[in-house]
Amino acid sequence: MDARTLVLNQIHEYGGPLISRHLNEDAQNAFDATCKKLYRFLYPS
């Protein structure tokens, strides 16, 4: 599978996958915000 397909399988309009159980909620929220922005860039409405 190519990298684009792998990324697109993991992000969605609500965020991304859980990055680690050891990181705090703020770090996960920041990661989800980035995933949402990437999703909107790739799939404009």
Task: Give the separation between CA 36 and CA 22, rounded to whole angstroms.
Answer: 22
Residue 24 has a pLDDT of 92
Is the pLDDT confidence value at 37 over 90? yes
Share of the chain above pLDDT 70, in %: 100
**Stretch 1-29: mean pLDDT:** 91
pTM, entire model = 0.81
* Average pLDDT for 19-39: 92
Residue 6: which pLDDT band, with cuts at 50, 70 and 90? very high
From residue 23, alpha-carbon distances to 26, 27, 29, 32, 41 in Å are 8, 6, 10, 13, 26
- Where in the chain are the domains? 3-42
